[in-house]
Amino acid sequence: MNDLETMKRAKSYIEMLANGIDPLTGETIHDDSVINNVRISRCLFYVSDVLKRAIDNDGEFGKKYIHALRPFSITPEQAEKITISEDPVPVSIFARQINEVIDEDVKPLSAVTITNWLCENGYLAEEISGGKKRRVSTAKGVSAGIETVDSVSRDGIPYKKNIYTEQAQRFIVKNLDNISGNIPK
């Protein structure tokens, strides 16, 4: 039996256990068995799903599976479901909100991709301060709702960060097709 066949058999056994069935006899496992504990059952379903993904990926784990993702894309219906925060948020938070509505087999949109597009189009500019390169909002960025504010790290070190107002978030959503065109393949 090769590795892929072993994975398929293991997945089958784990799935049966998760459903409270003895995989060797086909009999229902007693309710008081540890296998019927909800937390154990959920773990078994999780492992079964991991094995399914590996099986679907010809028995491979990791990078090969990641490359099987389609390039970032979003439908108008999905874009309407993006949570727009009334409070200004960092780009990383907003990227996460975008990625919550896309299909599972689509490569997520990164905050770096959004930031790079904003720089390339004049909404952010690079400046060097204290020997560190920072991206700050330009006048064009401010008009789009991107604000560069002073902040302090957990270690008490002051720094500048960009926050995206509701207006900026809507601007990014409106430009997702243009932004996603910048995603490296």
pLDDT greater than 50 at residue 15: yes
Q: Which among 95, 112, 88 is positioned nearest to 173, based on CA atoms?
A: 95
pLDDT digits (tens, 9 = 90+) for 46-74: 888 888 888 887 777 665 544 578 899 99
pLDDT greater than 90 at residue 162: yes
pLDDT greater than 60 at residue 96: yes
Q: Which among 165, 116, 173 is positioned nearest to 142, based on CA atoms?
A: 165
The enclosing H or E element of 64 equals helix 63-67
**Mean pLDDT of the residues in the chain:** 86
Amino acid at 100: E
Q: Read off the tokens for 34.
A: 């540890």
pLDDT greater than 60 at residue 177: yes
**23 DSSP 8-state letter:** T
pLDDT digits (tens, 9 = 90+) for 74-94: 999 999 999 999 999 999 999
Q: Specify the 3-state DSSP secondary structure of 81.
A: coil
pLDDT greater than 90 at residue 154: no
% helix / strand / coil in the chain, to the nearest 5?
45, 15, 35
Q: Specify the 3-state DSSP secondary structure of 124.
A: strand
Amino acid at 61: F
